Amino acid sequence: MNILLADKLDAQAVDAFKQAGFILAVAKGLTASTLPPEADATEILIVRSTLVPKEVIAGFPALRLIIRAGAGTDTIDVAAAAARGIQVSNTPGRNADAVAEMALGLLLAADRHIPEGTRDLRAGKWTKTALGQGLGLKGRTLGLVGLGSIGHAMARKAQGLEMKVIAWSDHLTPAAAEEAGVGYSPSLLELARTSDAISVHVASTPATRNLLGAEFFAALRSGALFVNTARGEVVDRAALLDAIRNRGLHAGLDVFAGEPKTGEAPFADTELAALATCTPHLGASTDQASEAVAEEVVRIAMVYRETGKAPNSVAA
């Protein structure tokens, strides 16, 4: 069976594929206009950051399965794949701890002004007075927008810091929140009103685009902390900028709307980056997560080869 690997995958997974007899080709920077010769025979396409719109899918006549080495599938035209009977799978939960660790890091860094302190010291400035104004996390309320595997991991870690954790999602029930050991918030606005800090953990879908807008930010206390390690598209950028500028919001951002889809590329939103503690979508980028994700990618391909049905199938 022919696999095309469009992004970097952990070396152990590459070895596992070879040992299992898969024919493996590698093509980085794949677009509809840069399809490699192997595209014709590819049955399984494996991607991480590479975009897979319908134009790319059209360039793979033998394609049967697309595997996203990550949780989100917003980079893939799942409907176009389904229309051709191509299965799409992801690796949910495998990078949850890594992303939650990043969210926690951004929360702490934004609250305690760690990047600004580093910047100032490197410039020979001792800004202890100006930067010494953290909210402090113990006993504060963290509101989770979304309670999937990453939200759960974030809840556990925040509780380790003795934060009170509450959550909202469009399908969360009081019973499910209780089972997860977090408080239940009946609405997004109620979550905003009752939180000192927010961490975003919802997938990017048409329903969540700009989910967090002006009303949400206006309901937050002034000086609140806001961390997004999910997707930039779920936040209304103008409302976020306004909250940072005019309501003292401290933002920690790992994700941005329209961010570059390759490892090294120019980044456009320097206006927002100048006002936030931020990282270039590194949430899932740990050795532990890479290994766990790659292991799952191999499992999906193996099960698909044996049964014709890929695990973790994502519906269009």
> CA dihedral defined by 105, 108, 113, 114, rounded to 10 degrees?
-50
What is the spatial distance between Cα 54 and Cα 130, in angstroms, rounded to a whole number?
Answer: 51
Name which position in 71, 220, 225, 297 contacts ligand MLT (CB under 6 A). 71
Tokens at residue 35, please? 């399809």
What is the spatial distance between Cα 246 and Cα 248, in angstroms, rounded to a whole number?
Answer: 6
β-pair partners for 252 = 227, 277
Q: Which amino acid is it at 51?
A: L
Query: Per-residue x/- marks for ligand MLT, 79-108, CB under 6 A?
Result: ----------------x-------------
Residue nearest ligand MLT, Cβ-based: 70
Query: Per-residue x/- marks for ligand MLT, 180-199, CB under 6 A?
Result: --------------------
- Whether 215 is catalytic: no
113 binds ligand MLT (CB under 6 A): no
* Among 18-26, 270-278, 281-289, 303-311, the segment contacting ligand MLT (CB under 6 A): 281-289
* Among 64-72, 172-180, 189-197, 302-310, the segment contacting ligand MLT (CB under 6 A): 64-72
201 binds ligand MLT (CB under 6 A): no
DSSP-derived 3-state class of residue 87: strand
284 binds ligand MLT (CB under 6 A): yes
- Whether 259 is catalytic: yes
Contact (CB, 8 A) for 45 and 4: yes
Helix (H) / strand (E) element for 184: namely strand 183-184
290 binds ligand MLT (CB under 6 A): no
136 Cβ contact list (under 8 Å, min separation 6): 111
In the complex, least distance from residue 7 CB atom to ligand MLT, rounded to whole angstroms: 8
What is the spatial distance between Cα 307 and Cα 65, in angstroms, rounded to a whole number?
Answer: 13
- Whether 231 is catalytic: yes
Given the complex with ligand MLT, which of 16 and 284 has the nearer CB atom? 284
208 binds ligand MLT (CB under 6 A): no
Of residues 43, 250, 281, 296, which has the active-site annotation? 281
157 binds ligand MLT (CB under 6 A): no
4 Cβ contact list (under 8 Å, min separation 6): 25, 26, 27, 30, 36, 38, 39, 42, 44, 45, 46, 60
In the complex, least distance from residue 264 CB atom to ligand MLT, rounded to whole angstroms: 15
Per CB under 6 A, residues contacting ligand MLT are: 48-49, 70-72, 95, 281, 283-284
